[in-house]
Structure 1
Amino acid sequence: MASLNVGNLGEYLREQRRNAQLSLRQLADAAGVSNPYLSQIERGLRKPSAEVLQQVAKALRISAETLYVRAGILDAERDRDEAETRAVILADPSLNERQKQVLLQIYESFRKENGFGTGEAAGPARDGDGTADQATGGGSSTDGGGDAAGSDTGAGRRRTAG
């Protein structure tokens, strides 16, 4: 069996298992997976699902997120940078709620344009009376109605210039 690019995960799991002073069989039993399957994960021959990683993390009493990052399911640095950017915007006392939501939508549209956006984190802008939704053309960065964002109409020009 050819090795998948999950050796780092397997090595890390083996190290954590040994630190917990568990045998391969004990960890497999605690996580509810087969002994051979866990062995293959540790040797980098299998890429486990997020569910299996969660079970193993619980059995080892470590963060499942750490295993997700090592397995390539999450990109920790990019996710952390995005979360920090959003937190700074939301914490800025000089902006009102509508402005914060519009800024988050603009930020998300730029991330999508650059191939990083998921569209899930910012969500639709809501400040109670719907003004943020109207200001951004309903929250869609592709409908051309985002006069508050303004940058969507020049996106094609920016790409060809750079």
Structure 2
Amino acid sequence: MANMNSIGDYIRQQREQAKISLRQLADQAGVSNPYLSQIERGLRKPSAEILQQIAKGLRISAEALYVQAGILEDRPGDSGVRSALLTDPQLTERQKQVLIEIYESFRRESRDSHSAEVVAVVRDTPAPEETSAPADNAWSASTSEPAGGQPADGEPA
């Protein structure tokens, strides 16, 4: 579980990045000014519901706050990329969301193409009884020119 101060620091960073005063965020989130100040200073631990209200006030995803607060584990199998993006103070919330969407689309594409490759290999592998006889050369029999390349029926060369 993340410590309480890290979520407070994160909320403060997001608020400052959005150029919103403590009072404005408190009003938008529907919490008191002193309570929000205590959260930012690590003196209070906000509930998931309060975090959701703060996220709305900051116009960021509640998931970002839940992960930072340790309420929600980052999605398994992503090597920590999502949490790294969500907690990077150098990125705006919009940049974080776009990067996460790109990252997840690459993961889906990779997973889907791997699944398609497996299906293709299974589908394209002939069963032992599926051996075909070599095709005979039907083309030369159906043309006016014999397989030897000489004109048929005494035509001039």
When the two structures are superposed, what TM-score results if normalisation uses the length of structure 2?
0.49
Q: Greater relative contact order: 1 or 2 (C-alpha under 8 angstroms, separation 6 or more)?
A: 2
Higher radius of gyration, 1 or 2: 2
When the two structures are superposed, what TM-score results if normalisation uses the length of structure 1?
0.48
